[in-house]
Chains A and B, each alone.
Chain A
C-alpha cells in the first residue's frame, strides 16, 4: 500500500466543480443568475483538462466553432465542431451537465449553434456523442499526438508477515527479544540467524525422518540471510547471534591447545625413539651379518614399528568466514558434523560464485546444502580429496539492491538459475522499523545464559540420549515425528504438494517452495532439540508443538520469499519507479535531458545508462517519450512527459 503521503487527496472545493447541482439536475436549462458560478466551474474544469485535450478541441471551446479545424475527411461545420467537442469531453468522463456548463461559459456555446438553437440541439448532440463513445470508446481527438492511457508500473514489494515473539522457540525467546529491543533491530534478523546457527551446531549429529516408515533423511543444516538497508544494523545483529558460537570456538581452540602440547611432546618422544631404534637396528644388523643370528634384529625392528606416532588432536571448527573450497574441504575432512560459513555481506560471495571457472565451487556449495552427500575435490598437482560428508550451513546479510539484481539474474535463465538462491530458505526481509527509540538498559542475563546454554548443549548433543537411531546407511542418527506430529506434517505436506501442483507460481518461486519439504522437518527438529536440551521436552520424537511451530515459520518465511522473488525486477524497473516518483514530485520537467537527470545523482538514477533504461521502461508503459536530437554530431536524449504528468507537475 502506498504511504499516506503518496495518495491523492483533495479539498472539498476541488471536487465541487464536478458535481451536479441538485436543483438543476432534472432541468437542463441554466438560469442566467447562475452563469457566473457556471463560468467559474467550467474554467476550473477546463484548466484540469488542458493537458488532455487536443489543441484543436481546446481552440474550438475557447474561440468558437468557426475556428474549428476538423480532422481529415471530417465535418468542419458548427455541428461538426460540437460533435467533436462533445465526443472529446465525454471521452474525458464529463457528465452532460458539465458539458452544458462549457457551452454556457465558452464561445463553443455562446457563439455557436447552441446559442441559436437552444438546449434541445445540445441534448441531441450529447446523446449522439455518448452513443458514439459507448460504441467506439474514447475519441482520439483528446490526444495531442495520440498519447495512450499510461499503464501503472508493476507493484513494488509485497507485504511480509511479521515475526511474533511467540514463534521464537522459548529457550531463545527472552534473549532474542531483549537483543532486538536493546539494539532496535527487527526480531526477524536475530531469530532467523539463531536458527541457522543452531542448525549448523547440530549438523550431521542428528537428522530427522519426516515420514513415518520411509528412510528419507533430512539433515537440519540451513542457509539463511537477512536482507535490509545498510542502516538496519544487519551485521551487528548477526554478530550478536554469533557470540555463543564464538565462545564455543574459543573453547574449542583452548581445548585443542591443551591437547596439542602433550601431543607434540609425544611426537618428539616417538620420533626420537624411532631414530634411536633405527641406530640400534643398524648396529645389531652389522653384528647379525657376522654372527648369522637375526633374532635380536627382528625384535628391534618390531619395537621400531610399534613406536607409532600418537593420534593428532583435531581442532573442532564451527565456522569459517572466508575460506577457499580447498580449505573448506580440509576443514570438513576433520569436522564431519559440518560447518557454518558466515559472511557479513553475501553479495560478494554470490558474485564470486558467478565468475567463470568457479563452477566447481558452485557444485560444492549446492551439494553442501543437502548435508548428506559426499564430494570429490580435484586439486591441481596435489591429487584429489574425498569428503564423505559434505554439510554446509550459510548465514549472512545482504542489501535489497544487490539481492534484487541477483534474483533477477537467477530467474532469467542466466547463470545463477541452478537453485543456489532457492537454498536460502531462512531468508528474512522485514519492513524497517517505523521508528527508533533509545533503549539503554542492562542485558537480560538470565535469558541470555539460558540461550547460550542451549547452544552449548546442542553442540554437545548425545544422539543416544535423544533416542536417535542410526538407520541411515551413512550412519547419521535420526529421530521421527510423534504420531500426532506426523499427522500435522502429513497434512501440511499434502497442502504444500497440492499448491505446488497448481502451477500458479513463477518457476523460481515454485522451486523455492519445493524445498520447504525439507525445511519444515528441519525446523521442527531444531525446535524440538532446543526444547530437549533446555529440559522442557523429554520425548525422543519430534512433537506436535515443534511441528506446528515449524509450519508457522514456513508460512512466515513464504511471505519473505515472495518479497525476495518479487524484487527480481529488472533493475531498470526499479530505476523507472524512482524516475516516475521524481517526475510526480515535479523534480523532472517536460523536456529534461537524460544528462540533466543523472547529474542530480538521485538514488537508482545516478548514471546515464540507468536513467536511459528507466526512461525506456516508462516509455513502454506510456508515461513518457524519449526523443533523440542530434546537433553537430552530438545526440541529446530528452524526455517528453505524458499530458497527465505535465498536468500534475
Chain B
C-alpha cells in the first residue's frame, strides 16, 4: 500500500513499541555489563562495507543502546568488550594493549547450521552447553547470538587495569579461559575459535543477527 507522506510517522509508531523493547534490552545489558560510572569509552563496531567504530563515553548506556538498535536494524553491530581510554575515531578499533577495563570473560561458540557448516562445530546448542561446562562456575548470561552462543562470566566489578602488568594478567586469564574451553571442546571432537583477545567484539542483545534470515540476539538464560 502506498502511503501519503504524512502517514509514514504512524507506521513507524507501529514499530516503535517493539523497538523500545529491544532498546531496553540492550540498555540493561550494557548497564549490567559495565555497571555504574565505568571509565573511558565503549565502542560499537559495524563491518558492513568497511570497519567503522562509534565510540561513546562508557557510561552513556541509553545513547549506546539507541545507537546499537538503530545501527542493528540494517547490519550486524558488535560491542568492543574492553573499554578504551579515549575515542579512537571511526576508523580504529584499537588493540588489546589499549584496553583499560574488562567486564568479565566470555565464550563465543558457533553451532553447526546454515550459517556455520563446518562439521567440527558442536551440532546443537545443547552440545555447545557441554563445552561451557568446562568452566564449572555457572555463567552470568547465555546469549543466543542467532547461530551460536555467546556466554559471559561477569566480574563482581569492572576490572579496571591500574598497570600494564595487570592488563597482562587479564590477557593471560582470558587466554587460559579460552584454552580451557577449547580443550573441553576437543574432548568431544569439536572446535571452538579462540576469542581471547581483549580487543574482541561480541553481539549485543536487542540487535539483529543479519546472517541469512534476520534473528534477534537474545539473552537465552537467565530470562
Bind each other? yes
CB within 8 A of B14: which of A21, A545, A548?
A: A548
Residues of B with C-beta under 8 A to A145? none
Give 24 A-B contacts (CB < 8 Å), ordered by A residue.
A4-B31, A8-B139, A8-B140, A9-B104, A9-B140, A10-B104, A12-B173, A15-B105, A15-B173, A15-B177, A18-B180, A19-B173, A20-B176, A20-B179, A48-B136, A166-B9, A166-B13, A488-B1, A544-B3, A548-B13, A552-B17, A555-B17, A555-B18, A559-B17
Chain B residue with minimal CB distance to A91? B133
CB distance B14 to A551 under 8 Å?
yes
- A97 and B135 in contact, given A161-B18, A484-B1, A548-B14 (Cβ under 8 angstroms): no
Interface size range of chain B in the complex: 35 or more
Q: Which residue of B lies closest to A546 (CB)?
A: B10
Q: Is the CB of A18 within 8 A of B138?
A: no
Extra contacts besides A12-B159, A161-B20, A556-B17 (9): CB < 8 Å: A10-B154, A12-B169, A16-B176, A19-B179, A22-B179, A95-B184, A161-B18, A484-B4, A545-B7
Known: A10-B137, A19-B173, A164-B20. A25 touches B219 (CB 8 A): no
Contact B179 A18 (CB under 8 A): no
Q: Once the chains bind, are B21 and A161 in contact (CB under 8 Å)?
A: yes
Is A124 an interface position by the 8 A CB rule? no
Cα of A19 to Cα of B177 in the assembled complex, Å: 6
* Interface membership of A14, Cβ < 8 A: yes
- Check if B155 sits within 8 Å of A10, measured CB to CB: yes
B32 at the interface (CB under 8 A from A): yes
Which one of A134, A152, A162, A549 lies within 8 Å of B20 (CB-CB)? A162
How many Å from the CB of A128 to the closest CB on chain B?
13
Chain B residues, Cβ within 8 Å of A21: 176
Q: Is A380 an interface residue (CB 8 A)?
A: no
Q: Does A159 contact B (CB under 8 A)?
A: yes
Q: How far is the CA of A273 from the CA of B223 in the complex (A)?
A: 80
Instruction: Enumerate chain A residues within 8 angstroms of B135, measured Cβ to Cβ.
Output: 15, 18-19, 93
Q: Does B79 contact A (CB under 8 A)?
A: no
Instruction: Check if B156 sits within 8 Å of A11, measured CB to CB.
Output: yes
Question: How far does the alpha carbon of A419 sit from the alpha carbon of B208 in the complex, in Å?
Answer: 38
A167-B139 Cα distance, complex, nearest whole Å:
39
Complex Cα gap A93–B134 (Å): 6
A544 close to B7 (CB less than 8 A): yes
Residue in contact with A166 in the complex, picked from B16, B133, B140, B222, CB distance below 8 Å: B16
A19 touches B136 (CB 8 A): no
Taking the complex as formed, is B183 at the interface, i.e. its CB lies under 8 A from any CB of chain A? Answer: yes
Q: Does A328 contact B (CB under 8 A)?
A: no
Tell whether, in the assembled complex, residue B153 and residue A10 are in contact, meaning their CB atoms are under 8 Å apart: yes
Write out, one digit per residue, whether chain B residues 162-191 have a CB within 8 A of any chain A CB (1) or not (0): 000000011011011101100110011000
Contact A93 B222 (CB under 8 A): no
Interface string of A550-587 (1 = CB under 8 A from B): 01100110010000000000000000000000000000
The majority secondary structure among interface residues of chain A is helix
Q: How far is the CB of A633 from chain B (nearest CB, A)?
A: 44
Quote the shortest CB–CB distance from B134 to chain A (angstroms).
6
Chain B residues with Cβ below 8 Å from A9 are: 104, 140, 154-156
Which of B10, B105, B172, B180 makes the CB contact (< 8 A) with A549? Answer: B10
Cβ of B215 within 8 Å of any chain A Cβ, yes or no, is no
A7 to B35, CA, bound (A): 12
Which residue of chain A lies nearest to B20 when distances are taken between CB atoms in the complex?
A: A162
A164 touches B7 (CB 8 A): no
Per-residue contact bits, chain A 155-174, to B (CB 8 Å; 1 contact, 0 not): 10001011010110000000
Q: Is A487 an interface residue (CB 8 A)?
A: yes
A491 adjacent to chain B (CB < 8 Å): yes
A residues in contact with B156, CB < 8 Å: 9-11
A9 to chain B, nearest CB (A): 5
A552 CA to B175 CA in the complex, in Å?
48
Contact check, A8 vs B137: say whether CB atoms are below 8 A apart: yes
Do A97 and B17 touch (CB < 8 A)?
no
CB contact between B10 and one of A92, A152, A548 (< 8 Å): that residue: A548
CB-defined contacts of A548 to chain B, threshold 8 Å = 7, 10-11, 13-14
Tell me whether A366 is interfacial, beta carbon within 8 Å.
no
Measured CB to CB, the closest approach of chain A to B125, in angstroms, equals 16
For chain B residues 107-162, which have a beta carbon within 8 Å of chain A? 133-141, 153-156, 159
